[in-house]
Amino acid sequence: MIITELLEKNARLYGGETSIVEINPSEERDKAVTWRDYSLIEHSMDAPYRREMSWSSFNRRANRFANLLLSRGVQRGAKVGILMMNCLEWLPIYFGILKAGCIAVPLNFRYSSEEIEYCLDLADVETLVFGPEFITRLEPIVGRLKKVKILLFVGRDTPSFAESYKDLAGYYSWEAPAVDLTEEDPAAIYFSSGTTGFPKAILHNHRALISSCLTEQNHHGQTHEDVFLCIPPLYHTGAKMHWFGSLLTGGKAVLLRGVKPEWIFRVISEEKCTIVWLLVPWAQDILDAIDAGRIKLDHCMLDQWRLMHIGAQPVPPSLIRRWKAVFPQHQYDTNYGLSESTGPGCVHLGVENIEKVGAIGKPGYLWKARIVDEKGQDVPQGKVGELAVQGPGVMQCYYKNPEATAEILKDGWLFTGDMAQMDEDGFIYLVDRKKDVIISGGENLYPVQIEDFLRQYGKIKDVAVIGLPDKRLGEIAAAIIECKEGETCTEEEINQFCKELPRYKRPRKIIFAQVPRNPTGKIEKPVLRERYGRTRLVEAQTTN
């Protein structure tokens, strides 16, 4: 089966029912009205509070975009980039790309101009669909995009260097194009990065996408009546592959463009959401808002909410204990995965295993898992080794990077780079990451990128960036800075200099100290984590 067939099935069976709802709250509106009358307010067409789309409309829009691409000479197998914030148009564009036999290439909306240019070139993107938030980031590089032949703009006031998606799409047939696909055909490229921060292009086929639908629905038991609240960005495999459970059953999903606890609870109440996927910081913020009285549970309609699950980073057991104390009726789950494994679910805790909170779980539906030593041999139970997984969602390859592919794919097994151990019941626990990636609030931070930026500051001799435990974000980036001889520096100076970085990349803790290096010149980050991590861990645990 091809994943586009699920969309066509839903259009046949549930054509007039709602498939996707887009919610656009704002600070100003939030101050003006309460959640009980919020949905009755009229808003301008530029930023409506609520938009929705039926399954029939979803399928027709996807068909029209597929026919648009084909009419413009976009060939089967061509790469089509998506650079958009979550919106009602996102998924029809994605499925239109697949229906045309092309390869969808979602891009991280946090990318800088240089990162956008790098990824478009790496993935051989020929057509780029983008939203208004990215005009200023594309303007400086548009003349250098040699492979991109078509730029389509989703929004009003189309920039001079692009064409209007809305104006063009309306001219094309809403009948499905005659493109035959198999499960082995390539479907999508997602980006990942190593500790150096240079993105790798991860190629998945249609079989991987359909397998993620099956895995997700098996884990969380979605039915046609469930309503899934999706807050994370759709460019991320986690968000999209969790939504795949709704796709499989024809259930409704809600895209919320905002993370304030008040917004989340308003939408859960208004849209009757039954499944909510959160990141650790959002769950922390919700509980804090309840404790502070900003959210009054007796004002909300939550009886239908049955499942809260968390992914994308290690989950503090204390957070889940606190959540269950407030919401004892909720099922809880966590999933582990990588973009290389088509997102979440290759390891899965399971709602029935709440007593094992702290573990990432057992191999997910259709998956196998092993913990191995440096020779690829299974380690004894309880010993630490590298987690390796095998299943239908394993990537085909790192696109145009056979060396990196060979490092991570061995005899059909995907070596995750995460160190783990297994208990006597077969549950897997993460111990540490083999690489130095910092996961802060579900976002990957790459120390080398931050270090390279900081070294541009004239007073800095050396710098090392490490992750330290944090109650809300899981980890924060800490910069250990060694000043040049005779120079002094303040935390305020560094914070001011770092304003040129995107906010999520800025170090949240500055430490002035010597940066230790080994005889070969490598920074001894394990020494730094041991030195500064213990104190921070005690602080984090004390506040739990």
Residues 322 and 444 in one domain: no
434 within domain boundaries: no
In a domain, 497, yes or no: yes
Q: What are 366's two structure tokens?
A: 């259709």
Q: Both 319 and 444 in a single domain? A: no
Which domain-ending residue is among 283, 301, 326?
Answer: 326
Contact of 255 with 88, CB cutoff 8 Å: yes
Distance CA 137, CA 102 (A): 25
Domain termination residue (choose one: 308, 326, 344): 326
- Say whether both 465 and 317 belong to one domain: no
Report if residue 390 sits inside a domain: no
Amino acid letter at 125? V
Residues 284 and 472: beta-carbon distance below 8 Å: yes
Q: What is the pLDDT of residues 476-523, one digit of tens each?
A: 999 999 998 888 999 999 999 999 998 889 999 999 999 887 544 467
Report the Cα 277 to chain-centroid distance in Å: 11
CATH of the domain at 503: 3.30.300.30
User: What's the rounded mean pLDDT across residues 213-234?
Assistant: 96
What's the rounded Cα separation, in Å, for the pair 70 and 382?
A: 54
Is residue 41 over pLDDT 70?
Answer: no
Last residue of a domain, one of 326, 353, 373: 326
Residues 127-165 pLDDT 10s? 999 999 999 999 999 999 989 999 999 999 999 999 999
Three-state secondary structure string covering 217-263: HHHHCCCCCCEEEECCCCCCHHHHHHHHHHHHHCCEEEEECCCCHHH
pLDDT of residue 444: 77
Domain count, the chain: 2
What are the pLDDT digits (tens) for 79-91? 999 999 999 999 9
> Does 508 map to a domain?
yes
Given a cut of 60, whether residue 540 has pLDDT beyond it is no
**Domain presence at residue 84:** yes
What tokens appear for 139 in the block? Answer: 């303007």
**Residue 396, in any domain of the structure:** no
Q: Is residue 418 part of a domain?
A: no
Residue 172 resides in a domain: yes
Residues 148 and 293 in one domain: yes
Instruction: Write out the two tokens for 533.
Output: 């991590």
Give the model confidence (pLDDT) of 278-318 as tens digits. 988 788 889 989 988 999 999 899 999 999 998 766 677 87
Condensed to tens digits (0 to 9), the pLDDT of residues 355-412 reads 998 899 999 999 999 999 989 999 999 998 899 999 999 999 999 999 999 999 999 9
Domain containing 459 equals 440-543
Tokens of 368: 């196998």
User: What pLDDT is recorded for position 121?
Assistant: 97
Half-sphere exposure of 204 (CA within 13 A, CB side): 30
CATH of the domain at 224: 3.40.50.12780
Do residues 180 and 55 both lie within one domain?
yes
In terms of domains, do 316 and 447 share one? no
Q: Which of 227, 264, 231 lies closest to 246, judged by CA?
A: 227
- Output the pTM of the full model: 0.82
